[in-house]
Amino acid sequence: MVEIEKARVSIAVLKAKAGQQEALKAALLALVEPTRAEPGNLDYVLFERQDEPGTFFMREAFTDQAALDAHFATPYFQRFAAASDDLLAEPLQLIFLEQVST
């Protein structure tokens, strides 16, 4: 079992440019399956705000910083990052969380 203190848990906030909502959603959904297969991945789930379509949240957790760094280096994440300027209205916001309960 992974120690809670070492796990890297975050919420990524991604806001689509006007007219890019479906393209961003498709690009994010394409990350889910391969990311979940990564050895250090604990959680990777995509959400969209009900009251603000085109605003997405990716809840993600990795065993440690090395696993997160490995995720950022994957070819599929690098392809997403290269396309993000065309899809995102503002830079991706990555909010790191500290688990305080079980």
Q: Please report the pLDDT score of residue 38 as a whole number.
A: 98
Give per-residue pLDDT as tens, 18-74. Answer: 999 999 999 999 999 999 999 999 999 999 999 999 999 999 999 999 999 999 999
**Position 72 in a domain:** yes
Q: Residue 2: pLDDT above 80?
A: no
3-state DSSP of the chain = CCCCCCCEEEEEEEEECCCCHHHHHHHHHHHHHHHHCCCCEEEEEEEECCCCCCEEEEEEEECCHHHHHHHHHCHHHHHHHHHHHHHECCCCEEEEECCCCC
What pTM value is reported for the model? 0.91
Let me know if residue 34 belongs to a domain.
Answer: yes
- Whether 102 is in a domain gets the answer no
Report how many domains make up the chain.
Answer: 1
Position 1 in a domain: no
Query: Could you report the per-residue pLDDT of 3-21, keeping only the tens digit for each?
Result: 555 899 999 999 999 999 9
Between CA 62 and CA 66 the distance in angstroms is: 9
**CA-based torsion, 36, 55, 69, 27: positive or negative:** positive
Range of 16's domain? 8-97
Task: Please report, for the domain that includes residue 89, its CATH number.
Answer: 3.30.70.100
Domain membership of residue 14 (yes or no) is yes
Residue 66 falls inside a structural domain: yes
Give every CB contact of residue 72 below 8 A, 6+ residues apart in sequence. Answer: 78, 81
